[in-house]
Chain A
Amino acid sequence: MKFLVVDDSATMRRIVVNSLQRIGFTNCVEAADGVEALARFDSSIAFVITDWNMPNMSGTELVQALRQRDDGRTVPVLMVTARSVREDIITALEAGVNNYIVKPFTPQVLKEKIDSLIVTPAA
Chain B
Amino acid sequence: MANERASELLYDTASTLRLLDAELGELAPRRAPEPATTGSTAAAAAAIGATDRVLPLLPALFVRAMGEVHAMLASIRTGREHIRVAATERLAHTNEKLDEVSSATATAAIDIMDALDRAIAKVDELETEEVLAEPARGTAIRMDLRDELFAVMGHMQFQDITSQQIMHVQSLLADMENRLSEIANLFDHQSGDGKADINAALNARTERDAHSFDPNATLADAETRQALADSLVERGSSGG
Contact = CB atoms under 8 A, between A and B. Distances in A.
A15 B212 contact: no
B58 interface: no
A9 B214 CA distance: 13
Interface residues of A, number: 34
Given A53-B164, A89-B228, A89-B229, A104 B222 contact: yes
Contacts of B163: 9
A2 B200 CA distance: 43
Contacts of B53: none
A85 B216 contact: yes
A7 B161 CA distance: 13
A53 B236 contact: no
A101 B222 CA distance: 10
A99 B214 contact: no
A109 B158 CA distance: 17
A55 interface: yes
Interface residues of B, number: 31
Contacts, number: 92
Contacts of A12: 157, 160
Interface of B is mostly: helix
B226 interface: yes
Contacts of A86: 228, 232
Give the most central of B153, B208, B211, B229: most A CB within 10 Å.
B229
A118 interface: no
Nearest to A58: B211
B212 A82 contact: no
B158 A104 contact: yes
A25 interface: no
B225 A53 contact: no
A15 B157 contact: yes
A11 B159 contact: yes
A105 B229 contact: no
A11 B211 CA distance: 18
Interface of B: 150, 153-161, 163-164, 208-209, 211-214, 216-219, 222, 225-226, 228-230, 232-233, 236
